[in-house]
Amino acid sequence: MSLFNEIFNALYYIFPAYCANASPVIFGGGKPVDCGRKFLDGKPIFGSHKTYRGLISGLLIGTLVGWIQEFLAPNIPNVNFPKGSTFLGFVLSLGALFGDLMGSFVKRRFDLKPGSPLPIIDQIDFVIAALFFASLVDPFSLSISKAIMIIALTFPIHFLANFIAYMLHLKDNPW
């Protein structure tokens, strides 16, 4: 398989997680997931930017993307996407949103405000968790090389997506 095909397959695989991670920026807001509660250290658990609407929209969008991919994959040459991709899309989305919540939890422990940068955590928390969740339900379609490729590609994609969201006034900062 050519390098282009490997990159395409890796991005096609993780795409539901990318969409789930981006959805709260567009559809989020409302009541925070932590309901304003504090952790044992007196700091917010996740912060005000992690909301139920963002969580639900991320799950719905990511699952919808997986469902669409399940129907498109047979018609795209050289795409190796597993059967049952709707469920995989849900699991990838759930993992991505869980990873993002864990990143926010860590940032609150460091006393960083919502939207403050925390390099590396901001870029890959969601994708590491998504890959982990996916490996639990579909261990055979995710190779180590594909996972490494996804993680490596996520850095520039994340920076570019955040910059575009900032330029479109969907985010307050470009990171």
26-38 confidence digits (pLDDT tens): 999 999 999 999 9
Of 84 and 134, the one with more pLDDT: 134
Q: Give the per-residue pLDDT at 1.
A: 67
Domain-embedded: residue 46: yes
Q: How many domains does the chain have?
A: 1
Assigned token pair, 57: 């929209």
Assigned domain for 121 exists? yes
Write out the residue range of the structural domain in which residue 10 sits: 3-167
Read off the pLDDT of each residue in 153-165 and give the average, rounded to a whole number.
93
Domain-embedded: residue 108 = yes
Assess if residue 77 is contained within a domain: yes
**Distances, alpha carbon 121 to alpha carbons 128, 136, 147, in Å:** 10, 22, 17
> Taking all residues of the chain, what is their mean pLDDT, rounded to a whole number?
93
Report how far residue 161's alpha carbon sits from residue 36's, in angstroms, rounded to the nearest whole number: 29
Average pLDDT over residues 69-86: 84
| Residue 55 belongs to a domain | yes
Q: Is residue 172 part of a domain?
A: no
Q: Is the pTM of this model over 0.85?
A: yes
Long-range contacts of 113-117 (CB under 8 A, 24+ apart): 113/47, 114/47, 114/48, 114/49, 114/50, 115/49, 115/171, 115/172, 115/173, 117/173, 117/175
173 within some domain: no
Residue 107 lies in a domain: yes
